[in-house]
Amino acid sequence: MTYENIRLEHDGAVATLTIDRPKALNALNNKTLQEFEAAVKSLGADTRVLIVTGGGEKAFVAGADIAEMSSIAEHPEAQKFAELGHRAFALLESLAIPTIAAVNGFALGGGCELALACDFIYASEKAQLGLPEVGLGVIPGFGGTQRLTRIVGRARAKELIFTGGRIDAAKAKEIGLVLEVLPAAELLAHCRSVAAKMLKNSPLAISTAKRVIEQGADKDLGEANTLERQGFAELFGSEDQREGMKAFLEKRPAVFTGK
């Protein structure tokens, strides 16, 4: 499939999805969101890590497309746009594989929310993150109020959302929003090296860990630990569990199949 506003590249088991509308700082319009959704849907079982990044030198994604949004006059159209965005982000979040946001510049509004829908964020030194929606008379609408709060806590989330301000990569790391800050030229290589480490491990175990972390995050510890026990038990008898332990005992690297 050919896309206009995104690029989907495969390097072995690692896919890189680039939002690529640099003229508009990769802002998310309808077409871009549609292509993004189609690209995520197209990922096959051979893809085991997804990296999401922005095209050009300046931006990850500078938000929803304000020009297009401002022309949405009718409530049903706004509803459709909202549904598309929610569907695309939920799809990304529901992937059973690790997803990494490589934030290479401005990640504002819907762009920051896109990064938040990934499993974790690495940022370049020139990244700027923020949720400026209140300055446009709206609030974050692609899950930002909820996901940011779960990551940095209520007070930090409120500070960022109420001020509509931008924070640089160092500050974002300090509050736990991004994990590491890299020189711009090293950002993607860093993401790929982290991906390479994950590729050595059992895909089945990783997807189970991701599922129980996500499902357990909003439960009390007792219920959450029940999920962990179930996930742990389910893995016993899998080919990956047998291979992982056998390889350890035979002092050789494991060859996992994800089964």
Residue with tokens 């994950």: 198
Q: Note if 113 is an active site residue.
A: yes
**Site for ligand DAK (CB under 6 A): which residue of 13, 136, 184, 209?**
136
Please tell me whether residue 55 binds ligand DAK under the rule CB under 6 A. Answer: no
Instruction: Tell me if 131 sits within 8 A of 109, measured CB to CB.
Output: yes
Q: Decide if residue 203 touches ligand DAK (CB under 6 A).
A: no
For 19, 154, 247, 253, 254, the CA distances from 250, given in Å and listed in that order, are 44, 49, 5, 9, 9
Would you give the binding string for ligand DAK spanning residues 97-126, x where CB under 6 A is met? ---------x-xxx----------------
Nearer to ligand DAK, 28 or 102 (CB): 28
14-19 and 99-103 as β-strands: parallel, antiparallel, unpaired? Answer: unpaired
Which span sits near ligand DAK by CB under 6 A: 37-45, 65-73, 114-122, 249-257? Answer: 65-73
From the candidates 9, 74, 77, 133, give the one annotated as an active-site residue: 133
183-213: burial string, b at 16+ Cβ within 10 Å, e else: eeeebbebbbebbeebbebbbbbbbbbbbbe
Please state, in angstroms and rounded to a whole number, the distance separating the CA atoms of residues 67 and 61: 15
Which of 17, 19, 27, 181 touches ligand DAK by CB under 6 A? 27
Rg (CA), the chain: 19
Residue number, 67 or 217, with CB nearest to ligand DAK: 67
35 is catalytic: no
CA distance 48 to 66: 34
Task: Report in angstroms how near the CB of residue 135 gets to ligand DAK at its nearest.
Answer: 7
42: phi then psi, degrees, rounded to nearest 5: -75, -10
- 64 is a contact residue toward ligand DAK (CB under 6 A): yes
Amino acid at 139: I
Q: Which of 4, 74, 83, 113 is catalytic?
A: 113
**143 near ligand DAK, rule: CB under 6 A:** no
Enumerate binding residues for ligand DAK (CB under 6 A): 24-25, 27, 62-67, 78, 81-82, 85, 106, 108-110, 132-133, 136, 138, 141-142
Residues labelled catalytic: 113, 133
